[in-house]
Structure 1
Amino acid sequence: MPELVSDIAQIEDAAEAVRKAWDLGYDPIPDLIDVLETHGIRVFMIEVNADPKFNGLAASVNHMPVIVVGSNWAGDRQRFTLAHELGHLMLGDRLADGINEE
C-alpha cells in the first residue's frame, strides 16, 4: 500500500490488494463479517436507534481492529458500512490532504 493515498485510483488499488491478499476473488462476498473476523478484525453489531447520524465506527482497541455497525440496519447498509470501515482501517492516516475521508 502506498505511504500516501492521493487519488481514487489508489484507493481502488488498495481495495484490490486486500481482495488479492485475502484470496477473495471478484465475486460478491457471501459473509463479510466472517471474512473480517477471520482476518483479525472484531465486528460488533449494536442496535442503533438514538442517533440517526451514526453510520459505523472503525477503531483500534488494545491493538485489535474493531468495526461497529447497526444490528437493526438493512443487510445492504451493514455490508456497505463494513466495507467502508474496513477502508478506514486499511488506509488509516494515509489519505493526502484534500482527499475526502468519507
Structure 2
Amino acid sequence: MAITLQHVRQRLSEPEVDYSAAAELGADALPHLAELATRSDTVLACKALYLASLIGGPRSTEIIADAAEHDDPIIRIAASAALRNLRQAERTR
C-alpha cells in the first residue's frame, strides 16, 4: 500500500496519536512528514517532527534539522525535543 499525504495527515489528526502504530508507516511517510513540518499548522508540524524522530534514519535527521531553523519558535522547540529520539549517530547532519 502506498503511503499518501492524506493517510499520514489522518494518523496525526487524531486527538491522541498512536505514535507506535504511526511509526510503522516507516520511511515511506518521511516525504509527507517533511511537507507537514513546513506548513502553517503548528500542531500538525510538531506531531510530524515527533513521528519523524520515531521513524529515524538520515531523512528524519534532515527533516528535524531543517525544522530547527524554522521561523516559528514552537516548531524549533519541537525539533529540539525530537532530536532526543534519534540515535546518537543520527544527531549530526
Q: Same fold per TM (> 0.5)? A: no
Greater percentage in helix: 2
Point out the structure with max Rg over C-alpha. 1
TM-score by length of 2: 0.32
How high is the TM-score relative to the length of structure 1?
0.29
* Structure with the higher strand share, 1 or 2: 1
